[in-house]
Amino acid sequence: MAPEKNMRSLQDELLPSTPGKFKLEQRSSHHRQLYRCFSSTSTMFLWALFLIALTASYLSFHSFIDTGNRYLAVSWGGIQWERQVRNSAKTHRSGGMSVLVTGAGGFVGTHVSLALKKRGDGVVGIDNFNNYYDPSLKKARKALLQSQGVFVVEGDINDSHLLAKLFDVVAFTHVMHLAAQAGVRYAMENPNSYVHSNIAGLVTLLEACKTANPQPAVVWASSSSVYGLNEKVPFSESDQTDQPASLYAATKKAGEEITHTYNHIYGLSITGLRFFTVYGPWGRPDMAYFSFTRNIIQGKPITVYRGKNQVDLARDFTYIDDIVKGCVGSLDTAGKSTGSGGKKRGPAPYRIFNLGNTSPVTVPALVSVLEKHLKVKAKRNVIDMPGNGDVPFTHANISHARTELGYKPTTDLETGLKKFVKWYLSYYGYNHHAKPVNN
């Protein structure tokens, strides 16, 4: 309204109603016109500034509110957050450990965290809950952990500030590093995710560990994939691992070299675990046994690969409970790190162990066991194995782990798959005949 009124006033001054007066008052009129013109323009300018300031204040306020909401929703830190971390890290047994478990929302991470908490160790988890596979399964695992008193921080291991804060709040005695980008075939679609998690993330974590005081002992998940194209069986820790068959394997092999470097330079106690095809309840949906189960139930065909000369692929399938025993045994026997403030004060342990079942089973035999427990016949589509990074067989020599860790797997594939199928049918709402349960 104010700008329109000012414009009308300006028009009235420039167009007088009496032409005779115009000549007589021309000079004085010009002065008045000029003054009012500047006055009117100044008023408009002030109004514009006011509106701009008001708009900016409004937008800033809402931006502050939105930022605050996002901060409250996804951020870490603060008194309440620190209290949750400390409570979760408290030990409840004599000589108990305080363990930071990375990848706690993952398959192995969840089981290891539960086992440690159950026996009285302090456990704090961290996971970024990415969408490599269904995040709802990871969130369900998180809920399971929370029900048992394990606090899981939602964050990325590449966040050096978050890791520094965690080590500032808790003097962790051990780190169980299980966070990683898993899967052999997915590397052909998203190679950068493997470098981000398995190499950059590992280095960021080791940097945090080396500067921590005291330094924690580090146990981390390597992989049987590092054996790559090795044809000597069973695979032993002393075998050469310089022929990776996939980018995933290459990043895990790189991880072994990187951890050795931090052990040598900074005195970090390092234990690397080469897992062999882990399966069981709460498993990963991208694994063959999991996807086979889903497709068999739904009446969809499954793809079964075979190797050269039509030889069946074989895997050293290892049940999750046995893997957990190996992880916990590694934590229990890990020697102390010898550095302080990033400076090495003496040699520290560097170990690598195979954790497998040492009884390879062919993939067709696996399918037959699933058919038995599901009471449904699979529609098999057998094709030659493509060049996607998979290897024809895996077979673990576990004598080193047996001697040093007391590791002894006790679950055969028949028993393990029976437990997995029972969990699967319950979790996804099927009855024992693999029919959906109506809710």
What is the distance between the alpha carbons of residues 206 and 331, in angstroms, rounded to a whole number? 17
Q: DSSP states of 21-85 as a string?
A: HHHHTHHHHHHHHHHHHHHHHHHHHHHHHHHHHHHHHHHHHHHHHHHHHHHHHH---SHHHHHHH
Active-site choice (227, 248, 279, 289): 248
CA 330, CA 111: separation in Å to the nearest integer? 15
Distance CA 126, CA 162 (A): 10
Phi, psi of 408 (to 5 degrees): -150, 100
Residues 276 and 413 sit within 8 Å (Cβ to Cβ)? no
Backbone φ and ψ of 306, nearest 5°: -130, 155
CA-only gyration radius of the chain, Å: 33
Place of tokens 């493997």: 194
Cα–Cα distance, 271 to 348 (Å, whole number): 11
Handedness of CA 255, 271, 222, 295 (dihedral sign): negative
Taking the C-alpha atoms of residue 169 and residue 171, their distance in angstroms, rounded to an integer, is 7
The one-letter amino acid at 49: L
Q: How far apart are the first and last CA of the chain?
A: 62
CA distance 423 to 399: 31
**Residue in 118, 68, 114 with CA at minimum distance from that of residue 280:** 114
Q: Are 334 and 219 in contact (CB under 8 A)?
A: yes
Instruction: Tell me which DSSP letter residue 179 carries.
Output: -
**Active-site residue flag, 71:** no
Active site residues: 248
